Amino acid sequence: MTTSDCFVSVIAPLDNDADIVPDFIKEVTQVLKNQFANYELILVDDGSRDDTVEKVSLALKEYECMRLICLSRHFGTEAAISAGLDSAIGDYVVLMQPDSDPPEIIPEMVQLSRTGTGVVIGVRKGRGKEPFWAKLGAKLFYWYVRKVLHLNIPANSALMRVLSREAVNAITQVRDRYHYIRMISVFVGYSTQEYLYEPISRSGKHKHRSLGESINQAIDMVVINSTHPLRAVSVLGLLASLLNLLYMLYVIIINLVKDRVAEGWTTTSLQNAGIYFFILLILTVLSEYVGRILNEAKSRPIYYVLDEKNSSVMLSDSDRRNVVDDPLDSQTKTADL
C-alpha cells in the first residue's frame, strides 16, 4: 500500500500509561508517517496520576501532528474516547488502546474501511489467559446483545476500530452519559466488518477488569441501550397478576364447592413468595431505569477538558545552528582573518 491521501486520526486514551506511552507514540507515528499523507495522533489523558502528561509533553516537541487533551479528572475510557472523537478531524478515525493494540494493523484496517465498509471492528484472537468466569460471562453477554438487543457486536471485539467520518458524525450526536463506543459504533448502523488480530502487551501486565466491574459495565451497556429488560419484567408482572387472578378464582370455586376448607398453609405461602419474587424483580429493574433517567436528566457534560497541547516541533539541532549564525558575527570573524 502506498501513502494514502486520506486524513487519518488516531485516538488513544491514556490512564497512568507513562511507562508505555513513549514507545507507543514512536511506533504509531512511524506507521502513520509512512502510510498516510495526512494524519493526527490524539492522546486523551484520563486524569493520570503518574507522569504520563509530562512524557507526552516532551514527545510533542519531537513528533509532529500530535495533540494531547487532558481531562480534568478521571472520567473513564469511554469519556476519554468521546473527548477524542469530539475533536478529531480525520476522514477515518482509529480508536486504540496503547497497551494492547498493535499499530502495524492501522493501515490495513483503514484500507478495509475505505474500500469496504464504514466501520471496521478489531476482534481479538481468543481471550487469552482470562479466568473461566470471564470467558463464560462474555459469551453470555454477547449472546444476549445479539439475540435480544439485535445489535451485532462481534464476540471478543476490542476497542481497536476504524470509523468513517459518517460514522463519527453519527456517534458524536449521541451524547448519553453511558457512552459505550463498542455498542454505539454498531448502534449507528453503518455496515461493519471484523478484523482479526493478535493483541500485544506493551506493559507486560494485563489490565483485567474485576468481576464486579465487568458485571457493572454489562448492566450499564444493556440498560442504556435497550428497554428490553423493562419490557421483560412487564410481561413477567402481567403473568404474575394473571396467575394471581387464577388463584383467586380457584379459591372462590373451592370455597363454593367444598363445605369445609382446610387452612391452606402451602398455597398461601407459595403465592406470597411468588408475588414478592416478582415484585422485587420488577422493582430492581425499575430502579435501574430510574437511576439512568436521573443521570440523563442531569445532562452534565460527559467530561471536562483541563488543557489541550499541540505539537511544536523545532528543527533538529544541526539545522538550527545554520540559522542561529549571525552573518554580522561571521563577517567580523572573516575580517579579522
Residue 86 or 108: the one with the smaller Cβ distance to another protein is 86
Q: Which of 64, 108, 130, 296 binds another protein (CB under 8 A)?
A: 64
Sign of CA dihedral 17, 20, 21, 24: negative
C-alpha 52/C-alpha 203 separation (Å) is 14
Three-class DSSP labels, 268-290: HHHHHHHHHHHHHHHHHHHHHHH
Check residue 294 for interaction with another protein (CB under 8 A).
no
- Closest contact distance (angstroms) between CB of 187 and another protein is 17
DSSP letter assigned to residue 309 = E
Is residue 313 part of the contact set for another protein (CB under 8 A)? yes
- Of residues 314 and 337, the one with the C-beta less far from another protein: 314
Amino acid at 109: M
Residue closest to 59 by CA, chosen among 74, 73, 43, 71: 43
Could you tell me the smallest distance in angstroms from the CB atom of residue 182 to another protein? 22
Give me the least distance between CB of 303 and another protein, in Å please.
10
Burial class (CB in 10 A: 0-12, 13-18, 19+), 239: exposed
When the beta carbons of 88 and 105 are compared against another protein, the nearer one is: 88
**Pick from 324, 333, 336, 337: which binds another protein (CB under 8 A)?**
324
299 binds another protein (CB under 8 A): no
The residue (of 93 and 95) whose beta carbon lies closer to another protein is: 93
Q: Does 307 contact another protein by CB under 8 A?
A: no
CA distance 109 to 94: 9
Instruction: State which of residues 16, 38, 57, 117 lies at the interface with another protein (CB under 8 A).
Output: 38
Does 16 interact with another protein (rule: CB under 8 A)? Answer: no
Q: How far is the CB of 88 from another protein (least distance, A)?
A: 9
305 part of the interface to another protein, by CB under 8 A: yes
> Mapping DSSP to helix (H, G, I), strand (E, B) and coil, where does residue 44 land?
strand
Q: How far is CA 18 from CA 15, 44, 45, 228, in A?
A: 8, 13, 11, 42
d(CA 158, CA 193): 13
Among 259, 317, 326, 336, binds another protein (CB under 8 A): 326
Instruction: Give the C-alpha separation, 159 to 95, whole Å.
Output: 7
Contact between 89 and another protein by CB under 8 A: the answer reads yes
- Regarding 99 and contact with another protein (CB under 8 A), the answer is no
Is 40 or 220 the residue whose CB approaches another protein more closely?
40
Of 281, 336, 301, 335, the residue nearest 79 (C-alpha): 301
Give residues 161-190 in contact with another protein (rule: CB under 8 A). Answer: 172-173
Query: Going by C-beta distance under 8 Å and a sequence separation of 6 or more, which residues neighbour residue 296?
Result: 176, 177
Asked whether position 317 contacts another protein by CB under 8 A, the answer is no
Of residues 105 through 164, those in contact with another protein by CB under 8 A are: none
Nearer to another protein, 65 or 183 (CB): 65
Choose between 227 and 332: whose C-beta lies nearer to another protein.
332
Q: Tell me the three cell numbers of residue 132.
A: 473461566
How far does the chain reach from its first CA to its final CA, in angstroms?
56
Whichever of 259 and 326 has its CB closer to another protein, that residue is: 326
Positions that interact with another protein (CB under 8 A): 7, 38, 40, 64, 67, 86-87, 89-91, 172-173, 301, 305, 308, 310-315, 319-320, 322-324, 326-328, 331
